[in-house]
Amino acid sequence: MTDPTLTSSSTALPPPEPIRIGLVSVSDRASSGVYEDKGIPALRDWLERALWNPIEFVTRLIPDEQAGISDCLRELVDGQRCHLVLTTGGTGPAKRDVTPEATLAVADREMPGFGEQMRQISLRFVPTAILSRQVAVIRGQSLVINLPGQPKSIAETLEGLPQATPPAPGIFAAVPYCVDLIGGPYIETREGVIKAFRPKTAQRPSRG
């Protein structure tokens, strides 16, 4: 759970709304115990640093099986009522990389901008970033986003590259407003990690 302690400048604000987030690591070897999964711990660490909201995490470590991934996403959205679901792994061109197909299979609507921006960020580092196939979709009142498999890449795509020339915005800057628009809780970010972007009419007082 994140620490909802308020700064002295924000003591008059109501407490941040709780949010339920599903974290899914897709890996044949990690799910079978061959090696330790690093995707879910990396996601938890980043989210706990980035959000003011109290977070209830629902985690799943599953193999690269398309039907199983789709079933997992349905369960997290329809059964667990997660407001946001983040997956890691299984987005390359290899035969067993089927996370994007499994995600699209459960989608009500696709949100292509998230995948486009993730590839733009990763291309700053390696030309093989064009081989990544991350997608994002809306199912019901939940946003589902495929993220890269490496912890360093996860942080880079979520947080962006603010010091780069030119700067590259992180995808999480757009997540809170997207969740607003689909009926989820008001996500508040710690601006030292990532600053959420909302139009002025949709903003509440900031905690900093």
CATH number where 180 lies: 3.40.980.10
Determine the average pLDDT of the residues in 59-77: 97
In a domain, 12, yes or no: no
- 138 pLDDT more than 70: yes
Dump pLDDT digits (tens) for 37-49: 999 999 999 999 9
> How far apart, in whole angstroms, are the C-alpha atoms of residue 143 and residue 110?
10
In a domain, 6, yes or no: no
Dump pLDDT digits (tens) for 2-12: 455 444 444 68
Q: Is 142 exposed, middle or buried (0-12, 13-18, 19+ CB in 10 A)?
A: buried
In this prediction, residue 86 carries a pLDDT of 98
In a domain, 28, yes or no: yes
Q: How confident is the model at residue 163 (pLDDT cuts 50, 70, 90)?
A: confident
Determine the average pLDDT of the residues in 156-164: 92
In a domain, 69, yes or no: yes
In a domain, 4, yes or no: no
- 164 pLDDT more than 80: yes
Query: What average pLDDT does the structure give for the chain?
Result: 93
In this prediction, residue 124 carries a pLDDT of 93
Burial 97-129 (b: 16+ CB within 10 A, else e): bbbbebbeebeeeebeebbebbbebbeeeeeeb
In this prediction, residue 31 carries a pLDDT of 87
In this prediction, residue 72 carries a pLDDT of 98
Q: Write out the residue range of the structural domain in which residue 57 sits.
A: 17-202
- 57 pLDDT more than 80: yes
Token code pair at residue 108: 């009500």
**Residue listed under structure tokens 């990544």:** 132
In this prediction, residue 20 carries a pLDDT of 98
Determine the average pLDDT of the residues in 61-85: 97
User: How many domains, in total, are found in the chain?
Assistant: 1
